[in-house]
Structure 1
């Protein structure tokens, strides 16, 4: 089977009712991004940060995968599919996809503030006083601004082996995720699905732009690739 790698962003989850977080004015759900998505923000006001992610986590109990997530699972009948997602939701998992790399962490995990290796499956709220086995406060298992992206190395290895690359619902403007496209072989076919694609078609060889939302775009992708 050929290796098909899919890079996904907030746009694929939007049709399931999950907000894309960042507004045009740079706010994240009404908050300055650095207040709720940085180590200094957590240090200054841990309760605010925990509450912010608690709300996001609760929402995951109420949403379901959409057709785009389901279509990516269907592609496993024809390809060895690996998904590299910037999303922190679990909709790819709910849809049944087999191989998923979460670049920016996962809402359904928590970790120690003192030891990054102490990671726990966690589906409820994280509160002040919830501690890891090392007695340190728990925090969301989310990559905040200014932090390393531990999964990046594995993501690069996967992209390097791609026979086909698919990009869905991400502007490819946020680094280091945006750099992944540069690790494909020069003539790898690339399919870019987005209703408002911000990409220069001449910038890459074999680039096909599917100007549509994720659900309809992946319907077209299935027709093209199967």
Structure 2
């Protein structure tokens, strides 16, 4: 448990420009950009900090503090230039250009992720797909050929794939992760309810839907009790 706890602690912040930046701040940057893109689509050219803060449910002070970590934006008379701030945030988040992503597992969840069009809109594209099921290996699924997980190192050699989405079964997950780390993958988004260990410099984001439902259940239950 000690090593797992340490892993969680080091995953709470990231190094940027010689400073530690809380990962929650980075998540808020993503939310800011999404709202700004919606505003840009509506023809909005400028937005004040208090307006943007209200859209994303943070205080104006929090928003200004987050943005000030990365530079000086906007002015008192006109606020933030929406298009310019989108460009800046896209650069910070590394999505100015489409980033190729690997998908591991093409069961029901994997197929749903393949069909999701929002990835490209946010700067990501599932370029290569893997599975361990012989019935799927070699087939073209949603326009992409499915490769054997065991061949990951060879398939990914020479491909600029730094991120992998894990949507496979939990059995043997650690070996799968080890294989993809050896192939050069530096970050994982995992939908698999299992703990994985990665070397320093490799990042893991867990997306546990059951845990999110439990959180909502807790909030609902406590709201009922308070009433």
Q: What TM-score do the two structures reach when normalised by structure 1?
A: 0.37
Q: What TM-score do the two structures reach when normalised by structure 2?
A: 0.36
Which structure has the higher relative contact order (CA within 8 Å, separation 6+)? 1
Q: Higher helix fraction: Structure 1 or Structure 2?
A: 2
